[in-house]
Amino acid sequence: MEKEIKKLLELGMTLVGAGMVSLPDLLLKALYNLLHIPYEEINTSIAFWGGIALIIVAIGLHILDIKKEKVLAVIGLDTIKSTKKFKNSNIINIIDSVKKLKKTNSKNIITDYIGDVDKCLKNYSDYNVSYFGIAPLPFIALAGNAYRKEKIYSHYEYFQKNDKIKTLNYIPALVLPKLLLNTSLCKDSKIAVVTIETTCIMNEMDLEQFKNCNLYRFQLEKPKTNAIISEKQLEAYSEKIADEIYKISKTTSEKIYVLGACQSSLMFEIFRKINKNRVIDIIVCNYLRTARYKYNWGIYASGNSVGKYVELGDVDGKSNN
């Protein structure tokens, strides 16, 4: 139903645009009247009002359809109160687990989390699945991988500007903010580092521990909080990053570290697009501003060690340790 509603909305907006009289048309009509030349006017009102009708129908169908929605809500960095907006949800609360996570208890915590994610997958019959997450990105990546074959209806984001949780919009855009890829490759390096910088640009101190590694930096021209506001942006950016990860897996690199300064929905969608059995080992890293090494721990999201916790320090780009 989601695709049909989207197509109706796009067609409606196209017809409304076609039905609006442009400034050149108005000037041309005025010139014809001034010169007393007969002007054969095209009736565009049918297109305009037809478009309005389709938009109304699309909104109505969306309202009816959204009643069947169930939200996967992964909460690890905020209070559980943030989920009150959702009438129907599967909540995975890992707030306490994240606070006490360390190497000695990581296996049990991550195993329980993966089990909870799998349980949620069984509770979606007759529902549209949507996503919301405020949690460390390594956990978000694991959830994304588990939901690879699940159709996601909407993505919710917390918007700091007005302190509200809202869905990304479906409004089509002719031009998206460019997501640029800048690379810096080191000779003989066996380690790739993929950075995702949509909310802010990472500085040298952030990346200090990854010297001598191959850097693949995805950056928006103008990064900002909640830079991604539409489903179209989310799809385009996640597709581009996932494609690059597949390409890196075909090089001599033996391992990929993924660093995110981005919205959680982007990390979720990237790993929904990655088959963990078709890429090299990927470690998704957690950022802690006050730590000696800013990316202080990570979790394997692909390969034979999926779900394994690792503590991070200096990463030697010429070895796979």
Helix axes 106-121, 137-146, angle to 10 degrees: 40
Q: How is residue 169 annotated by DSSP?
A: B
Q: Is the backbone of residue 188 left (phi > 0), alpha (psi -120 to 50) or beta? A: left
In this predicted model, what pLDDT tens digit does every residue of 69-127 receive, in sequence order? 889 999 998 766 777 788 888 999 999 999 999 999 999 999 999 999 999 988 776 78
CA dist 82 and 175 (Å) reads 32
- For the entire predicted model, the pTM comes to 0.79
Instruction: Indicate the burial class of 141 (C-beta count within 10 angstroms; 0-12, 13-18, 19 or more).
Output: buried
In this predicted model, what pLDDT tens digit does every residue of 288-300 receive, in sequence order? 999 999 999 999 9
For each of the domains in the chain, give its residue range(s) and CATH number, in order of start. Answer: 2-66 (no CATH), 69-167 (3.40.50), 179-311 (3.40.470)
